[in-house]
Amino acid sequence: MEYFSPKVKKGIESKSKTISRRGFVLGLAKVAFFGVITSRLAYLQLFKSKEFKQLSDRNRYREIKEVPERGNIYDFKNRIIASNNQVYLLSIFPSEIKNLNEFFYSLRPYVDFDILEIKKFKREIYRHKKTKKYQAYIIDKKLPWKVVSNINYNLSNISYVQPIVSFERTYSHAKEFAHIVGYVGEPNKKDLKSLSEKFLNTPNLKIGKSGIEKKFEDLIIGSPGKSVIETNAYGRQLKQISYDQGIKGKNFNSTLDSELQVFANKTLGNEGGSVIVMTTKGEIRCCTSSPSFDANLFTYGINSFEYKKYLRDKKKPLSNKALSSQYPPGSTLKMLVAISAMENGIVNSNLKIRCKESTEYFGQKYHCWKEKGHGLVDMKKAIKESCDIYFYEVARLLGVDRMHKTALKFGLGQYVLDNFLEEKKGVFPNTKWKKKYIGQPWYLGETIIAGIGQGYIQTTPIQLCKMIAQIANGGFKIKPSLNANDNFELGEKIIENEDHLKIIKDSLDVATNEWKGTSYNSRIKGDLKFCGKTGTSQVRRISQRQRELDIKNKDLPWKFRDHSLFTGYGPVSNPEYAISVIIDHGGSGSSKAAPIAKKVMQKVFELYYPKGTDA
């Protein structure tokens, strides 16, 4: 019997095949889909688990770097100049906070914020989010311990906030030491590039911005600590996981004397200028600049009004004049010109020249400061009475290149301190210098006025103090420093002939302690005497018409008046301290700088010679 086998229609067969193909494709797609899912899960589990664990921990744990306590700065008698105050602040992570208004409202039961403070902090937080999204932000409001303890007790009820202990720099004599000790501030973009990686992302970090704080930053700053806390999903603290206090910076012992520094600054008063006192071995006891500013304002955040007021002041209170102001040395250079001429065998101390108020070289007239002149003068009298005519001729015979070599030996035209941010180098020109920087030959007239410290010569107050200290100590090179731990031994001999040294020191003695000396009115009576040389540094050229009208320095606008200078040392019998005083636009050296030098040197004798003698 034959079975009937129905014949499948062509259309039905085609449809069946199509369904099979679709099923195959769908099945393949499912396999591929689940394969991708499985492989992705395997990838995340095997290769990315560590990374996601870190991200999870970041949400769960907060790591806050702790600001290190900076080392203290002391004077040479171990009195504190700069120290730290412990302050209590609040730290937040702005990226975690969705609504700042609600956040500050939640803190109202604990911290008394006024409306202006909230507006200020909100502006700063928005700015912080753009540049430092994942870094902690410090709410810069100093809190009393009672408030902090209350917050700590209720941390489980407060979201997104963590109390921290920080340190704020404070200066015991904020104005008197502002320039030389400097101040601290938040690092800017340039600072961050040179900052050690361990300090990055440290909230409320302050670094040295100027002075000793900047120069010895690596020693003073210390090493940051770290605290890790665990939080819940609402950003509330559960517990502290770990705490590392960090390492306090090392203390810095300076050569400065607080009592002398404060006195010198007070003596300067409202004058613009500087006073430097150093031992004849190079220990800097006083380095003050006036007018000054309050360094504590910069530490705690100076407002724009105060800062602009400093910038507009014509006497430049933000400038460290002792290291950065550059002046023609005027007559304070005459000792060095005399030394150079004698050491080079050009003249001797017996050279006599007649001063008739003016002299002429190749049709150009050169004047002495004294009307009718000094008459017949030798070297000693020329230094004592500061005769310009004498030193015009000595400079002409000596030449600027020889003068330049001697100046370099004494440290002019060179940095005095190592890598001190504010210090300027000054200029002591020679023929090559002018050709290189001005593109012109050197002229005789320029040599003549260089003999009285004018022309292209630019010196700083600390250079002049170093120069006179090296004359006072017997002609030995020194390396001045602010670091009490440095070596202050005398260096090489830079005045070879003792007779030359004696004539210069005798001349400086009579310039102060003998009648007709330019600083005679500022002499100190008694067993302890000091001596030195006055200088008047011109800031303008005096025309013949002005000479005829006999216009006095005091009658000119302040900015056109001469600078007043004095350099000296004491005690005369056994020199141990050198001084440099410069008063901006103060007139003659004998009228302003020398009287201030007298008061400061009297203080030096009072502090270091209590018996009233150098014995």
CB 272 within 8 A of CB 583: yes
Report the alpha-carbon distance of residue 336 to residue 88 in Å, rounded: 57
SS3 of residue 92 by DSSP:
strand
Residues 239 and 286 in one domain: no
SS3 of residue 478 by DSSP:
coil
Residue 52 in any domain: the answer is no
CB 168 within 8 A of CB 299: yes
What are the tokens at 52?
Answer: 């996601």
SS3 of residue 293 by DSSP:
coil
Residue 41 in any domain: the answer is no
Burial 365-382 (b: 16+ CB within 10 A, else e): ebbbbeeebbeebbbbbb
Residues 501 and 412 in one domain: yes
Report the alpha-carbon distance of residue 465 to residue 471 in Å, rounded: 10
Residues 218 and 264 in one domain: no
Residues 87 and 181 in one domain: yes
What are the tokens at 91?
Answer: 């730290």
Give me the domain span that covers residue 194.
Answer: 61-253
Strands 358-361 and 80-92 come out as: unpaired
Measuring CA to CA, which residue among 494, 421, 418, 428 is closest to residue 459? 428
User: Which residue's structure tokens are 């100093």?
Assistant: 142
**How many structural domains are present in the chain?**
2
Report the alpha-carbon distance of residue 182 to residue 439 in Å, rounded: 39
CB 284 within 8 A of CB 482: yes
DSSP element (H, E) containing 366: strand 364-367
What are the tokens at 266?
Answer: 């007070």
What are the tokens at 112?
Answer: 């008394």
Measuring CA to CA, which residue among 587, 519, 604, 601 is closest to residue 273? 587
**Residue where a domain stops, chosen among 203, 238, 253:** 253
Number of residues assigned to the chain: 615
SS3 of residue 306 by DSSP:
helix
Residues 294 and 169 in one domain: no
Measuring CA to CA, which residue among 351, 324, 303, 297 is closest to residue 183? 297
Report the alpha-carbon distance of residue 182 to residue 218 in Å, rounded: 15
CB 63 within 8 A of CB 244: no
Q: Give residue 393's pLDDT.
A: 96
Report the alpha-carbon distance of residue 572 to residue 530 in Å, rounded: 5
Residues 504 and 485 in one domain: yes
Residue 9 in any domain: the answer is no
**Residue where a domain stops, chosen among 235, 253, 271:** 253
Between helix 49-60 and helix 10-46 the angle, nearest 10°, is 60
Q: Give residue 551's pLDDT.
A: 66
> Phi, psi (5° rounding) for residue 606?
-65, -40
Q: Give residue 74's pLDDT.
A: 97
Q: What is the DSSP letter of 204?
A: T
Residues 415-470 pLDDT 10s: 999 889 899 999 999 999 999 999 999 999 999 999 999 999 999 999 999 999 99
The domain that holds 477 is classified in CATH as: 3.40.710.10
Q: Helix %, strand %, coil % for the chain, to 5?
A: 40, 20, 40
Residue 352 in any domain: the answer is yes
Residue 39 in any domain: the answer is no
For the chain, the C-alpha Rg in angstroms (whole number) is 37
Contacts (Cβ under 8 Å, ≥6 apart) of 237: 155, 156, 162, 229, 230, 231
DSSP element (H, E) containing 82: strand 80-92
In single-letter form, the type of residue at position 449 comes to I
Burial 431-464 (b: 16+ CB within 10 A, else e): bebbeeeeeeebeeebbbbbbbbbbbbbbbbbbb
> What is the DSSP annotation of 532-591?
EEEEEE-SSPPPHHHHHHT--GGGS-GGGSPEEEEEEEE-SSS--EEEEEEETT--STTT
Residues 218 and 284 in one domain: no
Report the alpha-carbon distance of residue 497 to residue 344 in Å, rounded: 11
Q: Give residue 433's pLDDT.
A: 96
Strands 252-253 and 73-74 come out as: parallel
Residues 352 and 413 in one domain: yes
What are the tokens at 524?
Answer: 């100190």
What are the tokens at 268?
Answer: 């300067």
The domain that holds 99 is classified in CATH as: 3.90.1310.10
> What is the DSSP annotation of 114-153?
-HHHHHHHHHHHHHHHHH-TTS-EEE-----HHHHHHHHH
Residues 384 and 269 in one domain: yes
Residues 262 and 249 in one domain: no
**Residue where a domain stops, chosen among 227, 253, 279:** 253
How far apart, in Å, do the first and last CA atoms of the chain sit?
151
Residue 234 in any domain: the answer is yes
CB 467 within 8 A of CB 416: no
What are the tokens at 12?
Answer: 């039905």
Phi-psi region of 224 (alpha: psi -120 to 50; beta: other; left: phi over 0): beta
Q: Which residues of the chain have pLDDT under 50?
A: 1, 55
User: Which residue's structure tokens are 């928005």?
Assistant: 126
What are the tokens at 194?
Answer: 């040179």
What are the tokens at 576?
Answer: 């141990």
Residue 613 in any domain: the answer is no
CB 206 within 8 A of CB 291: no
Residues 217 and 274 in one domain: no
> Phi, psi (5° rounding) for residue 451?
-65, -20
Residue 6 in any domain: the answer is no
Other C-beta atoms closer than 10 Å to the C-beta of 401 total: 14
pTM, two decimals, is 0.85
Report the alpha-carbon distance of residue 532 to residue 512 in Å, rounded: 6
DSSP element (H, E) containing 63: strand 61-66
Report the alpha-carbon distance of residue 160 to residue 581 in Å, rounded: 56
